[in-house]
Amino acid sequence: MAEILAMAMFVAVCGVLMLGYPVAFALSGTALGFALLGAGLEAFDLRLMGGLASRFFGVMINEVLVAVPLFVFMGVMLERSRVAEQLLETMGLLFGRLRGGLGLSVIAVGMLMAASTGIVGATVVTMGLLSLPTMLKSGYDPKLACGTICASGTLGQIIPPSIVLVLLGDILQGAYNQAQLALGNFAPEPVSVIDLFAGAFLPGMMLVVLYMGWQVLMAIVRPETCPPIRLAPGEVMDLPARVVKVLMPPAFLIIAVLGSILGGVATPTESAAVGAVGAMVLAALRRRLDLAILSQVMRATVQISSMVFVILLGASVFSLVFRGFGGDEMVEAALRSLPGGAFSAMFVVMAVMFVMGFFLDFVEIIFVVVPIVGPILLKMEIDPVWFGVMIGVNLQTSFLTPPFGFALFYLRGVAPPEVRTLDIYRGIAPFVAIQLFALVILAAFPELAVWLPRALFG
């Protein structure tokens, strides 16, 4: 009976989430309802709920999670200071004279914004407002233009410093310790967010190269879909000085934040604080910092951070009840019974996450699925950094896959009327295929994820 209730609870919470109910309350409310039902059927011990206090307190005192509001503040402040606008305009002038150059500019700006903000919504909306009309006016195919903007905007999911990696790193650390204790290792090597940042760097750059490769291929095979633009002589002459002026401040901020993390100089929380202060300095230099803007940024930071942490607390209730029903033991038995061992188990988990990404947000998948399957897979001697990076690349597709891909909604909200929703859906299809191809490469060559952490931190 307990196992049936565990599976019914998982299906029920997915259904409630797809109906559009708030995530945190859907997770905790469904779990509490099934806990009471299980207690009535004598399949659940309500005394287990006493462990919620320690779980909530553990979230409150977790220093790593302090990086979340700081990185959110940095990203929102940079978005308000119009760094992306200047980057897009300058990159467009730099590459626009090439066939496919505007697409390459969008991807390059997406990479820079990912390494400085990590907020997908702001990046997609900004690039949709600024670059999509220019690309359409220059004769770009709407499908290619929309797909490029959506995919480039989601790079903030995998390129550090990413909020996804911060949350994943915290969950994986607990899952890895739990797995090692079950294997009899009572002094395991810690897995930190820094390891995950280092592991995700090369795969993130690989995705950038693959996106640019697709843009170049389209420029060669179907040149009519991405024609060049013509610049006035004065714009060409002023370009070198403009490139230096626009690129240097965000590049310095990226080096200060990411370099301090990868160099072992600062923890993610400390570097996030540096990034937040640096974002305010950049805004002040651009004369985009006053009390009104600071109030807007702080309000947006509180809203986004509150959403993340309330979901985390709701997910704690869900995972506790799921384990109380013995659901984790049932999932472990199912994964271990698969032919092919760890490879098959990993393939099934990645496939389930990919399918869930069609209907659920990445935060929901992280907090619901990873605490359940993480300890099970890590007991099969899967490298935790490689596992985390695989999840990060996989969850990036959740922003692009219809019907609930958030990047599609963001772009639809700012796209001109002549751009059809079907154009957006068809435009992202090649980029979803590219991300799946990147997953295959990462699965075949795990060194892409584990080499840099080992080289930097031994």
Cα gap 127→291, rounded to integer Å: 26
**Angle at the Cα of 146 from the Cα atoms of 142 and 147, rounded to 5 degrees:** 115
Q: What is the 3-state secondary structure (H, E, C) of 107-125?
A: HHHHHHHHHHCCCHHHHHH
pLDDT the model gives residue 118: 64
Beta-carbon count within 10 A of 254 CB? 21
Cα gap 226→426, rounded to integer Å: 16
Show me where the domains of the chain are located: 2-14+23-38+65-457
**Angle at the Cα of 374 from the Cα atoms of 369 and 380, rounded to 5 degrees:** 140
Question: 41-50, long-range: CB within 8 Å, 24+ apart, which pairs?
Answer: 41/1, 41/5, 43/1, 43/2, 43/5, 43/325, 44/2, 44/5, 44/321, 44/324, 44/325, 45/324, 48/320, 48/321, 48/324, 49/320
330 burial class (0-12, 13-18, 19+ CB within 10 angstroms)? middle
3-state secondary structure of 44: coil
Residue 9 contacts residue 325 (beta carbons within 8 Å):
yes
3-state secondary structure of 339: coil
Cα gap 301→294, rounded to integer Å: 10
Residue 298 tokens, joined:
């702080």
Q: What is the DSSP string of 226-277?
A: S------HHHHHTHHHHHHHHHHHHHHHHIIIIIHHHTTSS-HHHHHHHHHH
Cα gap 393→397, rounded to integer Å: 7
CA distance to 99, 102, 209, 324, per residue, from 227 (Å): 5, 9, 20, 59
CA-based max dimension of the chain: 80
Place of tokens 């999509």: 132
Sequential pLDDT tens for the chain (458 residues): 788 888 898 888 888 877 777 777 888 899 999 999 999 888 888 888 888 888 888 878 888 888 888 888 888 888 777 777 777 778 877 777 788 888 998 898 888 888 776 666 667 877 888 788 888 888 899 999 999 999 998 888 888 888 888 888 888 888 888 888 888 877 777 788 889 999 999 999 999 999 999 999 999 999 888 888 776 665 555 667 777 788 888 888 888 888 888 887 888 888 889 888 988 988 888 777 888 888 988 998 898 888 888 888 888 888 889 888 888 788 888 888 888 888 899 999 999 889 888 877 777 788 888 888 888 899 888 899 999 999 999 988 888 888 777 788 888 888 888 888 888 889 999 999 999 999 999 999 999 999 999 888 87
SS3 content of the chain, % helix, strand, coil (to 5): 80, 0, 20
Nearest by Cα to 371 from 308, 316, 324:
316
pTM: 0.85
Residue 428 contacts residue 147 (beta carbons within 8 Å):
yes
pLDDT the model gives residue 222: 92
